[in-house]
Amino acid sequence: MAYPRAGANEVPAQPSFPNLEQDVLGYWKDDETFQASIDRNPVGDDGANEFVFYDGPPFANGLPHYGHLLTGYVKDVVPRYQTMRGKHVERRFGWDTHGMPAEYEAEKQLGITQKHEIDELGIEKFNEACRTSVLQYTDQWREYVTRQARWVDFDNDYKTLDLDYMESVMWAFKALWDKGLIYEGFRVLWYCWRCQTPLSNTETKMDDAYRDRQDPAVTVALRLESGEKALVWTTTPWTLPSNLAAAVHPDVDYVTVVGADGDQYLLAEARVAAYARELGEEPEVVARYKGSDLVGKKYLPPFDFFVGRENAHQVLTADYVTTDDGTGIVHIAPAFGEDDKVVTDAAGIEVVVPVGPDGKFTAEAGPYAGVHVFEANKQIIRDLREAGLLLRHETYDHPYPHCWRCNNPLIQRALSAWFVAVTQFKDRMVELNQQINWVPGHIKDGQFGKWLENARDWNISRNRYWGSPLPVWTSDNPEFPRTDVYGSLDELERDFGVRPDNLHRPFIDELTRPNPDDPSGRSTMRRIPDVLDCWFESGSMSFAQVHYPFENAEWFENHYPGDFIVEYNGQTRGWFYTLHVLATALFDRPAFRDCVAHGIVLGDDGQKMSKSLKNYPDVNEVFDRDGSDAMRWFLMASPILRGGDLVVTERGIRDAVRQAVLPLWNSWYFLALYSNASGREGTWRTDSAHVLDRYALAKTHDLVRDVQAAMDVYDISGACQLVREYLEVLTNWYVRRSRQRFWDGDQDAIDTLHTVLEVVTRVTAPLLPYTTEVVWRGLTGGRSVHLTDFPSVSDLPADDALVAAMDEVRDVCSTALSLRKANKLRVRLPLARLTVASPVAGTLEDFAEIVRDEVNVKEVSLSTDVDAYGQFQLVVNARAAGPRLGPNVQKVIKAVKSGDWSEVDGRVVAAGVELFEGEYEQRLVATDPAATAALPGGAGVVVLDTVVTPVLEAEGVARDLVRVVQQARKDAQLDVSDRITLTLELPDAVRSAVEPHLEFVRSETLTSSVVFGEGAAEGTVGDGVKVKVAVAKA
């Protein structure tokens, strides 16, 4: 038996791909193939031959979803490809372990709902629970990732909780501090009252951070000292007790009108009509102002909690005030609005913060003390109504930011926090972004570039527990101020006399020492209790994973930036961004050279995947039913890798089996079947003179060239498309057209298919690692396809002319077969003639016999006179062309109708204007429309003689009968080489038609003898006429 040469004992026609994959997994484990793939390529001088990719660390306190799987597949495809291209590719897994995701999960497990409960439990116990929680699913992750056929080193992984990693993070903080890029500031930040910590601008722009919310909207009157009532509008009534100013736009027109109640109201003129219900349809205007005229006007605040504050309760100007909604006058509570605080800071108004860390009012807010701000809205509105200050109360639906950790709505709140001064170097970030190759390309100056241009200082401190500590110690006595920032364990040991082996709280908090600047010796240096934003840690991944600069400094310098990174495009505001911030600030380099930013994976209903909605197929069920290669192909071949979103459906995954896995396997099965039947073994050679072999080899040459070009620029979906198109040619053209040659044991055919399959399995190994492993080992008997080099185009013959001609032949045949289908003429029914009319019809002359046999006609006629059979009319798509051409579109349409257009080298020009693809179409007006069809691209026409004579019909019936017999052979599980005796039970008309063609039936079905009698297996011939046959091994 020629095949298989390694692996299983046979090549099944219908294998269980999941079972095959499990066998391969076992083989890889026993063979240690992954490690061998790393070891096979040298590192090179100073690591010059290494390909470095950054493996974005996931949290391990939850199971992977399709987004993880998608990214994981890309993280496997690219390193496999680069390894086959000769690169040394280390693949080290990492874990993101700190931050609120871990804390929130630990809180749920401990039954904690309030932050003070953590303090009561004790930080040490709580953080230990976080440590346990965050590594809860590491084994399951390893199973998932391994089942994906993703090769990655779990045994040498990195974790952000490791001491080495945390020391590198500490170093980064200190380095930024030394550069003057770290500062403490009192700022208004988005704040989670449940988690009791601020969030960065990055975190509030994450996917799903903004969700639809209904809030109360109130219009409130502020009585000016001059007597009018200035109307302000807000969707946060709870901020009104903290009101310190009102703002107008300096250039907006304002009016004082007399309301229906006789009072005078001040608001923007453009907003008067919006208040017709309260003020009247056309209220009398008694005064007009520009916003700038109102500056300095004093008013009585709606609540008296902060009356008398210096410079407070006056009208100020602000450029952000609009007349799109509200009244055109903005109420300002600077502690709860970032832009508001800028305005009041400029006016010298001191901020008041009558809201505590838990989101509840403090005693400063009088009767609202102890009430949560959102709950206080109703009481505040009621009090405003009773005071006669409430003009309107309505509801307002709007997108509103929520905490990405606990899902509660956020508030803005002024507090002291630590920042990276991103605005000091954001221009350099923009410049360095130009050195990054983004896939898709528009991300560079679009989604990422725009985010960089508008970057703000980054809040990196969190009032929490589980994370890398801010390495900042301050004096506990303000009379003797001092701040110390540390960047290493050595520095800590130098000043505190002990070398920490755990940088987590509470252990790091226990490091104290006398303040060197206090001559009394009574003050102490204590660490500020905050921990770092976990995004600061993940942004440190490139250097912290190798413990830079304390170890591996030379390696890092020679391998930075990294070569490749991939995540979903939302990470332009997350991980990609934080990596870029730290790379720019610390090293003045980009963090990575090439970045794939893919789209979002959606459920089968087009919505975000949801466990509760069950709108996506279970991952394990897909693995068990279709296999990992099917899922890999479905995801890799989709538009999601070009930035689009992808709906995951079971049908889509199954289509992947049909498009790629099965065609490859069926070609392998076909070769094994006929090689074993003939006893002929295939060898690697490319010198066959047969035209179909030459075509297959030349197409394989082009496949290698084009897939390599696509993969070199990370166009994985483009590579998949090339492979899919190639497999279509291989199975439905080369193999099918060569079937008789294989039946005859043609050595050239066997060697050619052996050769192209060996090449194709190497080309597609990164895309279908399981299937290609089985096929390649079965073909060659070698150790692993993943220990081979990517094919070289120089090893395969190129023949552009042959490829172009044969592709034209395939187009002709496809078009003719479509005509058959349209006329309901089955392929087994021979027809008299096919005419091909094309300017290049002469190039098809050598292939006329192939066309004749493929289309099943008796004669192929070639002509260059296209006009004899039909003409092409150009039709302009005005909707598509109009936006680009403007008024010229009518001129072009008129020219086309008058025939004033031409086509040269594929360029269509009308009235001197070139039309682009999609802006026009060419429609065929045929002499015989039912029998004529246009070739692709309007290159000519084919005309099919659709007249069926009795002689042709009889031959067609005989061909149908061959199909029935072949099916009976298959059902009887006969070997492809077994000869048979055949019994036919046919109606008289069918028998009369078949008898002249019995020799044809015998030869096609390996029949030794034919008798007419009682059949067993039923089938149909002709137009559905039933026949019966019986087959027996001769």
**In this predicted model, what pLDDT tens digit does every residue of 331-363 receive, in sequence order?**
999 999 999 999 999 999 999 999 999 999 999
Query: In whole angstroms, what is the distance from residue 975 CA to residue 919 CA?
Result: 55
Give the model's confidence band at 901: pLDDT under 50 very low, under 70 low, under 90 confident, else very high: confident
Question: Are the beta carbons of 233 and 324 closer than 8 angstroms?
Answer: no
Query: In whole angstroms, what is the distance from residue 70 CA to residue 74 CA?
Result: 7
Q: Which pLDDT does position 279 carry in this prediction?
A: 95
Residue type for 676, please? N
What is the number of residues in the chain?
1034
Query: In whole angstroms, what is the distance from residue 1024 CA to residue 1028 CA?
Result: 13
Query: In whole angstroms, what is the distance from residue 93 CA to residue 142 CA?
Result: 10
Q: Which pLDDT does position 611 carry in this prediction?
A: 58
User: Closest by alpha carbon to 72, among 146, 2, 137?
Assistant: 146
Q: Which pLDDT does position 610 carry in this prediction?
A: 63
Strands of 2-52 (E only): list them.
Answer: none
> Is residue 115 within a helix (H) or strand (E), and if so which, with residue range?
helix 115-121
In this structure, the strands spanning 264-268 and 229-234 are parallel
CB within 8 Å of 276: residues ≥ 6 apart:
none
Question: Are the beta carbons of 144 and 69 closer than 8 angstroms?
Answer: yes
Q: Which pLDDT does position 208 carry in this prediction?
A: 74
Q: Which pLDDT does position 100 carry in this prediction?
A: 86
DSSP per position, 916-984: PTTSEEEEEEESSGGGEEEPGGG--EEEE-----HHHHHHHHHHHHHHHHHHHHHHTT--TT--EEEEE
Q: Which pLDDT does position 67 carry in this prediction?
A: 85
Q: How much is the CA Rg of the chain, to the nearest whole Å?
A: 38
**CATH number for the domain running over 950-1033:** 3.30.2320
**In this predicted model, what pLDDT tens digit does every residue of 60-112 receive, in sequence order?**
777 788 888 999 999 999 999 999 999 999 999 999 999 988 998 899 999 99
**Average pLDDT, stretch 455-477?**
96
Angle between helices 769-780 and 662-678 (to 10 degrees): 10
User: What is the CB neighbour count within 10 angstroms for residue 88?
Assistant: 20
Question: Are the beta carbons of 755 and 680 closer than 8 angstroms?
Answer: no
Q: Which residues of 299-333 are buried (b: 16+ CB within 10 A; e: fewer)?
A: bebbbebbeeeeebbbbbbbeebebeebbbbbbbb
**Average pLDDT, stretch 504-509?**
97
Question: Could you tell me which residues are beta bridge partners of residue 926?
Answer: 870
pLDDT at 40 over 80: yes
Q: Which pLDDT does position 775 carry in this prediction?
A: 98
Query: In whole angstroms, what is the distance from residue 904 CA to residue 906 CA?
Result: 5
3-state secondary structure of 231: strand
Q: Which pLDDT does position 33 carry in this prediction?
A: 98
Give the model's confidence band at 861: pLDDT under 50 very low, under 70 low, under 90 confident, else very high: very high
Question: Given strand 53-54, what is the order of strands in its sheet?
Answer: 53-54, 562-568, 592-598, 437-439
**Average pLDDT, stretch 1010-1027?**
93
What are the φ/ψ torsions at residue 263 (nearest 5 degrees)? -75, 160
Q: What angle do CA 141, 145, 146 make, to 5 degrees?
A: 115
Annotated binding site for ATP: 611
pLDDT at 312 over 80: yes
The residue among 194 and 776 whose pLDDT is bigger is 776
pLDDT at 612 over 70: no
**Average pLDDT, stretch 654-665?**
94
Q: Token pair of 751, please?
A: 């060697």
**In this predicted model, what pLDDT tens digit does every residue of 804-816 receive, in sequence order?**
999 999 999 999 9
CB within 8 Å of 691: residues ≥ 6 apart:
802, 806, 846, 847
Across the chain, mean pLDDT equals 93
Q: Which pLDDT does position 407 carry in this prediction?
A: 86
- The distance from CA 742 to its chain's CA centroid, rounded to whole angstroms, is 43
User: Closest by alpha carbon to 1017, among 990, 985, 992, 989?
Assistant: 985
Domain ranges of the chain: 1-45+609-617+628-792, 212-332+371-397, 810-944, 950-1033
Question: Are the beta carbons of 409 and 375 closer than 8 angstroms?
Answer: no
Identical fold, 1-45+609-617+628-792 and 212-332+371-397: no
CB within 8 Å of 750: residues ≥ 6 apart:
671, 674, 675, 678, 680, 681, 682, 742
**Average pLDDT, stretch 597-602?**
91
**Catalytic residue IDs:** 57, 96, 535, 571, 575, 608, 611
How many angstroms separate the Cα of 385 from the Cα of each of 79, 256, 378, 391?
67, 22, 11, 8
Query: In whole angstroms, what is the distance from residue 573 CA to residue 585 CA?
Result: 17
Give the model's confidence band at 938: pLDDT under 50 very low, under 70 low, under 90 confident, else very high: confident
pLDDT at 489 over 80: yes
How many angstroms separate the Cα of 905 from the Cα of each of 877, 885, 908, 941?
21, 22, 9, 18
User: Closest by alpha carbon to 922, among 877, 869, 867, 865?
Assistant: 877
**In this predicted model, what pLDDT tens digit does every residue of 709-724 receive, in sequence order?**
999 999 999 999 999 9
The gap between the terminal CA atoms of the chain, to the nearest Å, is 23
DSSP per position, 886-911: TTHHHHHHHHHHTT-EEEETTEEEET
Q: Which pLDDT does position 787 carry in this prediction?
A: 98
CATH architecture of 1-45+609-617+628-792: Orthogonal Bundle (1.10)
Residue type for 533, please? D
User: What is the CB neighbour count within 10 angstroms for residue 638?
Assistant: 23
Residue type for 300, please? L
Give the model's confidence band at 136: pLDDT under 50 very low, under 70 low, under 90 confident, else very high: confident
pLDDT at 209 over 90: no
CATH architecture of 212-332+371-397: Alpha-Beta Complex (3.90)
3-state secondary structure of 168: helix
Give the model's confidence band at 613: pLDDT under 50 very low, under 70 low, under 90 confident, else very high: low
Query: In whole angstroms, what is the distance from residue 295 CA to residue 248 CA?
Result: 8
3-state secondary structure of 56: coil
User: What is the CB neighbour count within 10 angstroms for residue 194?
Assistant: 19
Q: Is residue 86 left, alpha or beta, with left meaning phi > 0 and alpha meaning psi from -120 to 50?
A: left
CB within 8 Å of 1009: residues ≥ 6 apart:
981, 982, 1034
Query: In whole angstroms, what is the distance from residue 422 CA to residue 182 CA?
Result: 9
Query: DSSP class of residue 88?
Result: B
User: Closest by alpha carbon to 402, among 237, 535, 205, 264?
Assistant: 205
**In this predicted model, what pLDDT tens digit does every residue of 532-584 receive, in sequence order?**
999 999 999 999 999 999 999 999 999 999 999 999 998 999 999 999 999 99
> Which parts of 823-871 fold into alpha helices (H)?
848-855
Question: Are the beta carbons of 329 and 256 closer than 8 angstroms?
Answer: no
- In percent, how much of the chain has pLDDT > 90? 81
pLDDT at 624 over 80: yes
What are the φ/ψ torsions at residue 463 (nearest 5 degrees)? -85, 60
- In percent, how much of the chain has pLDDT > 70? 100
